[in-house]
């Protein structure tokens, strides 16, 4: 679906571009010819990029009125999103799945204005979850169950304590049998474990889960370390990982390096430069085990800029623009659509989205706020902007 705006240059640059002798290329998807500007002697760079509408396989929406504010931004470029279940009262049952989905439907009925958007519902898997609850939730439309280990993030005070009880083994087996995916917040709040080490501490649990459930599809969400990337690569086709836009950009220095930056604080916290480099390489590699999940989380300004600020970055307004910059910087724009619009859909067994989103290569300044929320890039310049959907 991606327009012919990005191919690998055979000149010295080896970046995603078009060589001068191919300055315009008719699009194979029947879009208009692409437009280019000269940047180097033998390099022509696209000024627009058209992608298939994307999927976001990890998104926090909350409830009204926040839900509407988030949807208004997301449906501009996204066709589907995995809906996180960690509300103040977590989504645990079929009845709650139906209620929460209806909240989306009521808003989308008048908000969508011809744009297609599908919320992909989930339930939280807790110690008291039963196989019967899983089956009922699946029949009500839940496509996945999400594990939040105890105390690792927002609203995880009732998170999973024991991963390998007989009841949990029965839950995993039921999920496999009915086709639900197991989504994992890959951190553990172990004794004498720093926040920056929680993901590494979780990896032995993750490895055991995979080994004992080889036929259950699992997603290690918002991967943030080099070690997790390497482990996911080694595992079979039933295992994948989502990567956020902000973990491709931030390190711990962006959070606390020059004072506390509350709107960059999130869980898992951004880490070392080596970890960020490994994430960028994984995201842009063309490996279908890695795909996009924004983990965009709306917290009002007063709940971020306070003594005990909430964790989560509000990236929904410009996550796709951030991704375009990262992929462009690696010379991999031609792989962006796979990461955002194809690999995740294939893993979940979903048809590819219809429709497109077009970005323009133009410098713009991120607004200081979007409604009640402050984006992490407020006041900063980005080089790609969404112009049509």
DSSP E strands in the chain: the ranges are 7-8, 16-17, 36-40, 43-46, 48-52, 54-59, 78-83, 118-120, 122-125, 144-147, 181-185, 218-221, 239-243, 290-292, 356-365, 381-388
* Contacts of residue 116, Cβ cutoff 8 Å, sequence gap at least 6: 53, 79, 353, 354, 355
Question: What is the four-CA torsion angle of 43, 44, 46, 52, rounded to 10 degrees?
Answer: -70
The residues carrying an active-site annotation are 295
Q: Which residues of 324-346 are buried (b: 16+ CB within 10 A; e: fewer)?
A: bbbbbebbbbbbbbbbbbbbbbe
Pairing of strands 239-243, 290-292: parallel
154 vs 72: CA distance, rounded Å: 23
Burial of 37 (0-12, 13-18, 19+ CB in 10 A): exposed
Burial of 5 (0-12, 13-18, 19+ CB in 10 A): buried
Which helix (DSSP H) or strand (DSSP E) does residue 136 occupy? helix 131-139
Closest CA to 80 of 359, 282, 387, 340: 340
């Amino acid at each position: 679906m991606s327009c012919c705006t990005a191919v690998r240059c055979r000149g010295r640059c080896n970046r995603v571009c078009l060589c001068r002798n191919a300055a315009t290329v008719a699009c194979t998807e029947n879009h208009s010819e692409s437009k280019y500007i000269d940047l180097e002697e033998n390099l022509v760079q696209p000024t627009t990029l058209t992608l298939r509408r994307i999927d976001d396989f990890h998104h926090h929406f909350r409830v009204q009125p926040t839900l509407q504010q988030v949807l208004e931004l997301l449906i501009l470029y996204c066709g589907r999103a995995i809906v996180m279940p960690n509300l103040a009262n977590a989504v645990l049952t079929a009845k709650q799945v139906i209620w929460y989905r209806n909240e989306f439907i009521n808003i989308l009925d008048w908000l969508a204005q011809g744009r297609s958007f599908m919320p992909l519902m989930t339930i939280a898997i807790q110690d008291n979850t039963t196989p019967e609850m899983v089956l009922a939730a699946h029949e009500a439309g839940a496509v996945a169950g999400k594990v939040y280990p105890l105390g690792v993030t927002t609203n995880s005070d009732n998170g999973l304590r024991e991963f390998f009880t007989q009841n949990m083994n029965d839950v995993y087996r039921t999920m496999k049998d009915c086709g639900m995916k197991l989504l994992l917040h890959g951190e553990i709040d172990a004794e004498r474990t720093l926040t920056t080490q929680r993901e590494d501490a979780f990896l032995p649990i993750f490895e055991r889960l995979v080994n004992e459930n080889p036929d259950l599809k699992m997603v290690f969400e918002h991967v943030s370390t080099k070690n997790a990337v390497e482990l996911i690569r080694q595992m079979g086709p039933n295992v994948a990982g989502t990567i956020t836009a902000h973990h491709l950009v931030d390190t711990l220095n962006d959070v606390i390096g020059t004072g506390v930056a509350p709107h960059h604080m999130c869980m898992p916290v951004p880490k070392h430069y080596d970890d960020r480099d490994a994430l960028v390489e994984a995201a842009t590699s063309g490996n279908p085990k890695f795909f996009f999940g924004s983990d965009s989380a709306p917290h009002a300004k007063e709940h971020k800029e306070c003594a005990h600020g909430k964790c989560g970055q509000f990236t929904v307004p410009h996550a796709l623009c951030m991704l375009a910059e990262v992929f462009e910087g690696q010379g991999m724009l031609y792989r962006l659509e796979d990461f955002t619009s194809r690999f995740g859909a294939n893993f979940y067994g979903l048809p590819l989205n219809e429709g497109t989103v077009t970005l323009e290569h133009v410098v713009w300044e991120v607004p200081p706020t979007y409604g009640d929320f402050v984006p992490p890039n407020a006041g900063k310049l980005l080089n790609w902007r969404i112009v049509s959907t």
